[in-house]
Amino acid sequence: MSDLANKMENLSVGDSDGNKSSYVPPHMRGKRGGGRGGASFANNDREGGSSSYFSGGRGQGNGRNGGGSFFGGRNGGSGGFGGGRGNIRGVGRWTAGKHVPSAVDEGLELQLFGTADDSNFQSSGINFDHYDDIPVEASGNDVPEPISEFTSPPLDPLLLENIIKARFTKPTPVQKYSVPIIAAKRDLMACAQTGSGKTGGFLFPVLSESFANGPAAVPEQMANSYIKKAFPTAVVLAPTRELATQIYDEAKKFTYRSWVRPCVVYGGADIGSQIKELNRGCDLLVATPGRLSDLLERGRISLCNIKYLVLDEADRMLDMGFEPQIRHIVDGCDMPSAENRQTLMFSATFPMDIQHLARDFLKDYVFLSVGRVGSTSENITQHVLYVEDMDKKSALLDLLAASDDGLTLIFVETKRMADALTDFLIMQDLRATAIHGDRSQVERERALAAFRSGRASLLVATAVAARGLDIPNVTHVINYDLPNDIDDYVHRIGRTGRAGNTGVATAFFNRGNKNVVKEMIELLTEAKQEVPSFLEQLSRESYGSRGGKSGGFSSNRSSSTRDYRRMGGGAPGGSPSYGGGRGGSAAGGARGGSSWGSSWGGSGNGNSWGNNSSSNSSASNSWW
Ligand SMILES: Nc1ncnc2c1ncn2[C@@H]1O[C@H](COP(=O)(O)OP(=O)(O)OP(=O)(O)O)[C@@H](O)[C@H]1O
C-alpha cells in the first residue's frame, strides 16, 4: 500500500457505525450527526466558492432529513419527506412511513380541475364508450388481468379522489391494462390510438404505487453532495417542450395533495428558475432529453432513485434524433439498470425497427396494443383531396370558409412555410398564429395559449405540434403538406377526435406524396374511411410494376402493427428477420423496406433475444 493510501486508511473516515462510506472532515469528527444525515463535507466545489462548503438551501425548510443535515438527503428516518414544502399549495408529506395529504385548497382545485362546463378542459365525447370495442392484445409472460373500473384498491384512495375530481368516470383500455401491469412491477411497451388516455396510462399506476409506498431513501453519499440535487423517483421523457409542459400539468392534477411533487424542465427556458423549482423538491420529473442531460451534467439532478422511467412518444424518443441523448441519460449517468427500475414506453405508433431497438431498455416486458399499432381513431373522419401545390392556398381558404366554429390546426413541412402561410392567412383577415422550432420559447408558448383560448382559431404548425398535444376544441386538422412518414400523419391527425370526441382531418395530396400512397390507403381502409379513387390509381401506378414493395417506398404497414416478438422469423437468441434496420432514412418515409414475414405464433416471450442494436446516428433533432 502506498504511503498516501496508508495515511488515508488511518484517517477517521466513516460514521459512528464504522461505515466507511463518507469522509468526515477533521472539524466535524465526533460532532452530532457527523456522518449519515448530518452536516457533511462538500467534496465538489464546482461553483468555485471558497467558503461556502454547504449548500444549506435545504436548511431553509425542506425538512426531509428530520434534523441535522444541511443537505437535501431524504434518509433522515423520522424526518418528513416533503415536510419543509409545507408552504407549497397542494403538496402533502410523507412522514414516519405515512402519507399525509395536504389540506383541501378549493382555489387550487378549481385551477387544476376546472368545472364541468369549462371548455378549456377536455371532456370525454359521445364516442368515449366505443373505446371498449377496440380489440386489445397484450403479449408477454404472465400478463396480469385488466381492471374494469377506477376503484381503490387497486388504486390509492387519494389518487382515486383526484381521478374523480378530473371527471374521469371509467378507465380507457390502455389504462385498464397499464394499472395492473405496472403494479405487478412489469415493464411495458404500450401502443394505443391518439387521444385515448396514454398519459393517465402511465401516471395512474406510477402515482398510485408512489403514494402508497413513499419515497426511496437517498444513498448517503448522494445526500451529502455539495450541490443541492433533486432525487426524483420517476422521470418522464417527452420529445417537445410543449408536451413536457402538458404532462406536467396533468401530473399536477393527479398529485394534488400528495407527497409527490412534480417538476418540469425543458430547453429554451431559464435554467436558473428551473433549478430553483427543483430545489424546492422534485419527485416526479417531466423533461425533454436535452435539458435533462444539461442538468445532470451540472449535478443538479441525480437519477439514482429512479424507480420508473417513462418514455412518452417512445418511438420518437428512440428514433435517430433522440436516441444518443436517451442512451446517455439512461446508461451514462446514475440511473439504476433496467433490472432495478421499471421502464414504460407509450406511443400511438411503434415501428418494428424501433421496437427492436427499445428492447435495450426493457426487461421481460408486456407489449400492449389497443387496436392495431399505428391505427387512427374512427372518431376522426378523414378526407384526402387531390390538390396541386399551386392550388393549395385557395383550397385552404375554401376549406376554412366551410369549417365550423372549432379550432383548426394546419400542418406544413417547413418553418419557412409556416411563417409564410400564417402571414397569408392574417392578410386574409383570419386569426392565425404559428408554432415551429425557429420561434422562441416565449413565442411558442404565446402562440399555443392564443390557440387554446380561441383568440387565434388557426394554428399553422410544423411537426413540433404533431405529437401528444391535447387541445380541447380542435375540430379540424389540415395536412396542407403531407409528411413523408405515415406515422407522423397518424400523430398529426390525432390532435382532433380525442377522448371520444369527433373530429375531421383533411389532407392535400398530389403526386409529390406518392411515397405514402400505399400506407395511406391501408390506414383509411382500416379506419373505415372513404378511399378516393385517385389514391387507388396512384397506388397502381406506383406499385403495379414494383411488386408492391421496394423502390424507396414506405414499407408495408402490416409490418408495424404488432409486437415484433410475435412476428415470424425469430426464436429466442435468434435474430429477427426484418430487413428494416436503422440504416434507413427516418424522415424519408422508408424505414428500410421491412420484409417481415406475416406468420405469427412466436412464443410471446422475446426477452432473451440478441441485443445491441446499433446506434448509428448523430442526426440532430432540429427537423422541425
Ligand atoms: N379515463 C378517462 N376518462 C375521460 N377522459 C380521459 C380519460 N383518460 C384520459 N382522458 C382525457 O383524454 C384526453 C386525451 O388523453 P391523452 O392526452 O392522455 O391521450 P394520448 O393517448 O396520450 O394521446 P396522444 O397519442 O395524442 O399523445 C385528455 O384530455 C385526457 O384528459
Cα four-point dihedral sign 459, 467, 320, 285? positive
Ligand 1: does its nearest atom lie under 6 Å from the Cβ of 470?
A: yes
Burial (Cβ within 10 Å: 0-12, 13-18, ≥19) of residue 57: middle
Ligand 1: does its nearest atom lie under 6 Å from the Cβ of 150?
A: no
Question: Is residue 85 classed as helix, strand or coil in its secondary structure?
Answer: helix
**Cα–Cα distance between 334 and 542 in angstroms, integer?**
50
380-386 and 366-370 beta bridge pairing: unpaired
pLDDT of residue 48: 28
Q: Measuring CA to CA, how many Å separate 511 from each of 65, 343, 386, 396, 482?
A: 65, 42, 9, 18, 11
Vertex 52: Cα angle to 48 and 53 (nearest 5): 95
Cα four-point dihedral sign 460, 268, 343, 363? positive
Question: Is the domain defined by 380-541 classed in CATH 3.40.190.290?
Answer: no
**Cα–Cα distance between 441 and 467 in angstroms, integer?**
17
Q: Ligand 1 pocket test: which of 148, 163, 179, 196 has the largest number of ligand atoms within 8 Å of its C-beta?
A: 196
Q: Delimit the CATH 3.40.50.300 region(s) of the chain.
A: 93-370, 380-541
Ligand 1: does its nearest atom lie under 6 Å from the Cβ of 289?
A: no
**Cα–Cα distance between 142 and 145 in angstroms, integer?**
9
**Cα–Cα distance between 560 and 556 in angstroms, integer?**
8
- The amino acid at 55: S
**Cα–Cα distance between 267 and 598 in angstroms, integer?**
42
- The grid coordinates listed for 289 are 432529453
Neighbours of 502 (CB within 10 A): 16
SS3 sequence of 104-125: CCHHHHHHHHCCCCCCCCCCCC
Which residues of the chain register pLDDT less than 70? 1-87, 543-561, 567-624
Nearest residue (by CA) to ligand 1, atom 1, is: 171
Nearest residue to 498 via CA among 348, 604, 365: 348
Phi, then psi, of 426 in degrees rounded to 5: -65, -40
Nearest residue (by CA) to ligand 1, atom 9, is: 197
pLDDT of residue 243: 97
Ligand 1: does its nearest atom lie under 6 Å from the Cβ of 240?
A: no
Neighbours of 575 (CB within 10 A): 11
What is the gyration radius of the CA atoms in the chain, in angstroms?
Answer: 26
pLDDT of residue 117: 84
- The amino acid at 518: K
Burial (Cβ within 10 Å: 0-12, 13-18, ≥19) of residue 607: middle
Q: Find the distance separating the first CA and the last CA of the chain, reported in whole Å.
A: 58
Nearest residue (by CA) to ligand 1, atom 13, is: 499
Nearest residue to 242 via CA among 520, 445, 482, 67: 445
* Cα of 266 vs its chain's centroid, Å: 13
Q: Measuring CA to CA, how many Å separate 372 from each of 153, 189, 483, 555?
A: 30, 14, 21, 16
- The grid coordinates listed for 580 are 428494416
- The grid coordinates listed for 124 are 370525454
Phi, then psi, of 526 in degrees rounded to 5: -60, -40
Ligand 1: does its nearest atom lie under 6 Å from the Cβ of 124?
A: yes
ipTM confidence score:
0.99
- Which CATH superfamily does the domain covering 93-370 fall into? P-loop containing nucleotide triphosphate hydrolases (3.40.50.300)
pLDDT tens digits, 345-380: 999 999 999 999 999 999 999 999 998 888 888 899
- Confirm if 523 and 376 have CB atoms less than 8 A apart: yes
Q: Ligand 1 pocket test: which of 149, 172, 237 has the largest number of ligand atoms within 8 Å of its C-beta?
A: 172
Is the preceding peptide bond at 472 cis, omega within 30 degrees of 0?
no
Q: 527-534 — which CB contacts under 8 Å span 24+ positions?
A: 527/375, 527/376, 527/377, 527/378, 527/380, 527/382, 528/378, 529/381, 529/382, 530/383, 532/384, 532/385, 532/386, 534/386, 534/509
- The amino acid at 120: N
Q: Ligand 1 pocket test: which of 470, 471, 501, 502 has the largest number of ligand atoms within 8 Å of its C-beta?
A: 470
pLDDT of residue 544: 61
- Which residues are within 8 A (CB) of 361 and not within 5 positions of it... i.e. 6 or more apart? 309, 311, 318, 326, 330, 338, 343, 345
